[in-house]
A and B are shown apart, each in its own frame.
Chain A
Amino acid sequence: MIENRPFLAFLTHLVLILGVVIVVFPVYLAFVASTHGSGDFMRGLVPLLPGPHLVENYGFMLNEGISTAGAPPLSIMLLNSLVMAVSIAVGKIAISILSAYAIVFFKFPLRLLAFWIIFITLMLPVEVRIIPTFKVVADLGMLNSYPGLIIPLIASATATFLFRQFFLTVPDELMEAARVDGAGPMKFFRDILLPLSRTNIAALFVILFIYGWVQYLWPLLVTTDSRYYTVVMGIKRLAATADAEPQWNFVMAAVILAMLPPVLVVILMQRLFVKGLVETEK
């Protein structure tokens, strides 16, 4: 595509810019809303420029929250979400990289069966098994706790599968060289395999962090104590006030704040993320 046609360049840019505008506009509107006073959005004329109440609104949400909606201050919910998302991401990576290591590099009876059982769980989304899962978690007394939020979501067939595929591309000779060099199974894992998987781990971390962060249904079910609310489900509560108009300025402030951590993770890990998706360092 090295043709130099001004009209085509103009057209392609136009399409791209239009696409960006369409995607960004609602986000922008949410930001604008979060900077206005409480009634400004209900007047019928939606303001398109930021208002004067930015610091005030955000400060209010972070420190106090809308107690009438039964939601704690946003800072608590953000912290809960962070704990949940990081634990899920780290846990999923740790568990799946180890199980993939076992499946690929060790020969044990029923190895293939183990792999297929893990693989089959891919076909069951959380929602399908949510009632039995809830029952188990409730019986274990894990409602309203961090383990209750995290553990049911911590095993990942997808990540296991991705690591397996990556491990299969590692040449056997590398393992043999390590064996000759006196590296046992765990040493080989730590010294060779883990460093080689670095970019894969980073890419998976980004994906799994966001997966954990945007969990909605599960936190909604297992938390009734507002101290364990996560931010994504909390927003729902903020908007669903019984007898009054939702306070859109505060809700939108919460939305923007809830959006920031995943955005930050993606931006900060962007380089590693892209590397992990496109190249394998071998």
Chain B
Amino acid sequence: MASIDIAGVKKVYAGGVTAIHSLDLAIPDGELVVLVGPSGCGKSTLLRMIAGLEAITEGTIAIDGTVVNTREPAERDIAMVFQNYALYPHMTVRGNLEYGLKNRGTPRDEIDRRVAEAARILEIEPFLDRRPRQLSGGQRQRVAMGRAIVRQPKAFLFDEPLSNLDAKLRGQMRIEIKRLQRNLATTSVYVTHDQLEAMTLADRLVVMNAGRIEQVGAPLALYERPETLFVAGFIGSPPMNLIDIGYLRDKGALALPEGTDLVGIRPDTIHLAPPEAPHVTLTATVELYEPIGGETHLHMRLADSGQLIIAAVPARTATREGAQVSLHVGLADLHPFNKETGRRTD
């Protein structure tokens, strides 16, 4: 268990491509931090630099107060769970779990004890003598986690561990990872491009884009108050609607901060019935009525501007495709942004 301190870290690849621009991030002991962002944003590179699989061009990474820049992965006392599990195919599950401990010269009885415990926690006891090939995807994933747990490392590093699983299993494993991390209280860094996974798992969410951190914070805080246009568009599904300020101005006097030229509206803050709080009202035509169970997504086109807008309304909302509707959004639910800087203006 340890803190991880990333200070001024930069990664420039041999070809001159800068993957990460001077990045700072402090992860306190026991926290589960999720790095999320589109592919190519540098989140995996950052994780691999923490692991020691990728050289650090500039800056320092410290684990438990010790700078580990030049240390081999094994000397950093971290454990990593890979996307394709990377289990040793010729070893049994037990062999896979034991391998790292054996290499560290852990005594035999200690190895047995730890393997038994990890197998119990992950419920993989029945498979201990099987080969990875004979396991299903979910079971392999558990073994990969087991390999990390038995080491009792200072930190867990997860590199998109669930992206090879089907949706249902992914949901289950997500919960198990969270529970496991809570119980073990081991500092963890988790990389994913799936924002649902990111939101549900993270103690703290780090949104990355083009080698830079866009915003760091609790998942809900990021959802409720995105600091940049990128975060606003990336977190939340369906994504936030971004409406031109000029269009809104016409709909009523708005007291939005200086420099605002785009206004973000979360689909779930759009109401068909006018709320009591102060609000703006828009008119739109329903183009697509998309029931998804618990709620319904309305894809609409705004009157005059013709811009697309998506609203998430309660299931069985009484409207139909082609109908004209009035949309009401509370003033408190408007997110003002500046297009140039991409930042929030209030």
Point out residues on A near B: beta carbons under 8 Å.
Answer: 171, 173-174, 176-183, 187, 191-192, 195-196, 198, 281-282
Contact = CB atoms under 8 A, between A and B. Distances in A.
B272 to A, nearest CB: 50
Given A182-B100, A195-B90, A176 B74 contact: no
Contacts of A177: 80, 82, 86-88, 147
Given A173-B86, A196-B89, A180 B103 contact: no
Contact of B83 (A173, A180, A182): A173
Interface of B: 51-53, 72-74, 78-80, 82-84, 86-90, 99-100, 103-104, 133, 147, 151
A182 B103 contact: yes
A50 B103 CA distance: 62
Contacts of A180: 51-53, 73-74, 78-80, 100
19 contacts: A171-B84, A173-B82, A173-B86, A174-B88, A176-B51, A176-B80, A176-B82, A177-B82, A177-B88, A177-B147, A178-B88, A179-B52, A180-B51, A180-B80, A181-B100, A181-B151, A196-B90, A198-B90, A281-B133
Contacts of A192: 88, 90
Contacts of A182: 74, 100, 103-104
Contacts of B73: 176, 179-180
Given A181-B99, A182-B104, A191-B99, A282 B80 contact: no
A178 B88 CA distance: 9
Nearest to B51: A180
A278 B133 CA distance: 17
A195 B147 CA distance: 20
Contacts of A187: 103
Given A173-B82, A173-B83, A173-B84, A179 B72 contact: yes
Main secondary structure of the interface of A (DSSP, over half): helix
Contacts of A173: 82-84, 86
A179 B53 contact: yes
B74 A179 contact: yes
Contacts of B133: 281
B91 to A, nearest CB: 8
Nearest to A194: B90
A192 B83 CA distance: 19
Given A176-B80, A182-B100, A182-B104, A171 B74 contact: no
A181 B83 contact: no
Contact of A181 (B52, B74, B84, B89): B74
Complex A-B, nearest 6 residue pairs according to Cβ-Cβ distance, in ascending order: A182-B74, A181-B100, A182-B103, A173-B86, A177-B86, A195-B90
B86 A171 contact: yes
Contacts of A195: 90
A191 B91 CA distance: 10
A196 B90 CA distance: 7
A195 to B, nearest CB: 4
B114 to A, nearest CB: 14
A177 B89 CA distance: 12
A183 B103 contact: yes
A182 B133 CA distance: 23
A193 to B, nearest CB: 10
* Most chain A CB inside 10 Å of its own CB: which residue of B52, B72, B89: B89
Nearest to B132: A282
A174 B88 CA distance: 7
Nearest to A175: B86
Nearest to B151: A181
Contacts of A196: 89-90
A281 B89 contact: yes
Contacts of A198: 90
| Residue from the set A174, A179, A182, A196 with the largest chain B CB neighbour count within 10 Å | A182
Nearest to B105: A182
A160 B103 CA distance: 29
Nearest to B72: A179
Contacts of A181: 74, 99-100, 103, 147, 151
Contacts of A171: 84, 86
Nearest to B48: A176
A182 B79 CA distance: 10
Of B52, B80, B90, most A-chain CB atoms within 10 Å: B90
A183 B72 CA distance: 10
Nearest to A187: B103
B162 to A, nearest CB: 15
A176 B53 contact: yes
B283 to A, nearest CB: 53
Contacts of B84: 171, 173
A196 B88 CA distance: 9
Contacts of B80: 176-177, 180
A195 B84 CA distance: 20
A174 B91 CA distance: 13
Contacts of B78: 180
Tell which of A176, A192, A281, A282 has the most Cβ of chain B within 10 Å.
A176
B304 to A, nearest CB: 53
A166 B74 CA distance: 26
Contacts of B74: 179-183
A135 to B, nearest CB: 45
Nearest to A196: B90
Given A178-B88, A195-B90, 12 more contacts: A171-B86, A177-B88, A180-B73, A180-B78, A180-B100, A181-B99, A182-B104, A183-B99, A192-B90, A196-B90, A198-B90, A282-B89
Nearest to B159: A173
Given A179-B53, A179-B74, A180-B79, A174 B86 contact: yes
A174 B144 CA distance: 12
A196 B87 CA distance: 12
